[in-house]
Chain A
Amino acid sequence: NAGVTQTPKFQVLKTGQSMTLQCAQDMNHEYMSWYRQDPGMGLRLIHYSVGAGITDQGEVPNGYNVSRSTTEDFPLRLLSAAPSQTSVYFCASSYGDPYYGYTFGSGTRLTVV
């Protein structure tokens, strides 16, 4: 089924560990974004990409790295996990035209202990 696929769905990390959250879409969307959602809060934009090779920072980029080597994939890297990064992470993609809506993945629930 066409859509945005996020892996893993759940992850527990120890403080200081690194990991990569995977995001892939098969809709040939140019734009991809990462959001985090803390308990009871709204979504905040971490990083986004307007096409392969182009990324930019969102509202809360510190502690996260991204790269976009292909149109399909947009991984999010946590370099040294901290308890403050405990959150649910959502990836989204779109055609990059406000005429079209975004498609969101089902999320990765990350706990840093």
Chain B
Amino acid sequence: DAKTTQPNSMESNEEEPVHLPCNHSTISGTDYIHWYRQLPSQGPEYVIHGLTSNVNNRMASLAIAEDRKSSTLILHRATLRDAAVYYCILPMNRDDKIIFGKGTRLHILP
């Protein structure tokens, strides 16, 4: 099963863009790339996912490298409410099981 590597923590200033990286060098051709986030004292919430092409939704954008060995979650204009732990996950194709790593703790500075 493909694994992901993320920085332990990142900081960003409020109202600036944030780029959260994820490496997944052993990704297979059919693995989707999912991002979740966990706000303080809440359950995880789905953010975005993609397969090959870049994706946008109301929460964020997902940029996927051409070789698919890395991806970047982009928050276009961070707010204090975006302070959370962000998880990059590759669901297991055979049973859609998702295993969480340590994620990246994002700190937003006012």
Contacts and interface: CB of A to CB of B under 8 A. Distances in A.
Query: Do A and B interact?
Result: yes
Given A98-B31, A98-B49, A98-B93, 20 more contacts: A33-B98, A42-B87, A42-B103, A43-B100, A44-B100, A45-B97, A50-B96, A56-B95, A58-B97, A90-B43, A96-B95, A97-B96, A98-B91, A98-B96, A101-B49, A104-B43, A105-B43, A106-B42, A106-B43, A107-B42
Interface of A: 31, 33, 35, 42-45, 48, 50, 56, 58-59, 90, 92, 94, 96-99, 101-107
Contacts of B95: 31, 48, 50, 56, 96
Contacts, number: 59
A98 B34 contact: yes
Q: A42, A50, A101 — which one has the most chain B CB atoms within 10 A of its CB?
A: A101
25 contacts: A31-B95, A33-B98, A35-B100, A42-B87, A42-B100, A42-B103, A45-B97, A45-B98, A45-B100, A48-B97, A50-B96, A56-B95, A59-B99, A90-B43, A92-B98, A98-B93, A98-B96, A99-B32, A101-B36, A101-B49, A102-B36, A102-B46, A106-B42, A107-B42, A107-B43
